[in-house]
Amino acid sequence: MPRPLAAAALAALTLAVVPAIADATTLRGKTSQGHRVTLKVGADGVPTRLDIRWTGPCKHSSKSARTSSFFIAPFDQATADALRDDDSVSKRFSGGLRVRNTAHLRGQRSGATWSGTFSQRRTFYRHGKAFDVCSVKGVRWSVSLDS
C-alpha cells in the first residue's frame, strides 16, 4: 500500500474510533439518603461503573458508617436498559483485621434517567471473630444528564 493511501486509511480509522470514545457519558444524581451517585455509561449506553456514597448504622459503634462503594464492569447483568450486580469481597489489614463487604445493586433505564436500589453489609472481623456490622438496605438512587 503506498504511503499516502496508508496514511489516509489510518486517519479514517482514527476518526471512526474517536467519536465512540467521545460518546461515553457520566450521569450524576442523588440517593434517597441525599448522597452523591455517579454512573458512567459507554458509547453503547451500557453501564461501565457506578459510584455511590452511603451512610448506614453499625451494631456496636456509636457512629454510623459514612463511605463510598463502587461497582466496575463486568457486572452480573449490564445492558443499555438494565443493571444488576451482587458482589462479595474481603480485605485483610494489619493487626488481624478483616472486612467483608456484600453488596447488591439493581438499576433500570427509563428515557435518559437511570434509577434503582442499593444495599450493602460490611462486617468487621478481628482474629476471625466478628466485632461489628454496618449496613444499609434499599437505598434508592437516580441519575440523569441534567442532575
The residue extents of the domains of the chain are 25-144
- Does the pLDDT at position 8 exceed 60? no
Average the pLDDT over 109-128 and give the result: 96
pLDDT at 16 over 80: no
Residue with the bigger pLDDT between 79 and 13: it is 79
Confidence bin at 147 (pLDDT 50/70/90) = low
- Residue 28: pLDDT band by 50, 70, 90 thresholds? very high
- DSSP for the chain reads --HHHHHHHHHHHHHHHHHHHHT-EEEEEEETTS-EEEEEE-TTS-EEEEEEEEEE-BSS-SSPEEEEEEEESSPSEE-SSEEEEEEEEEEE-GGGEEEEEEEEEEEEEETTEEEEEEEEEEEEEETTEEEEEEEEEEEEEEEETT-
Residue 46 corresponds to which amino acid? V
- Tell me: the pLDDT tens digits for 60-98? 988 999 999 999 999 999 999 999 999 999 999 999 999
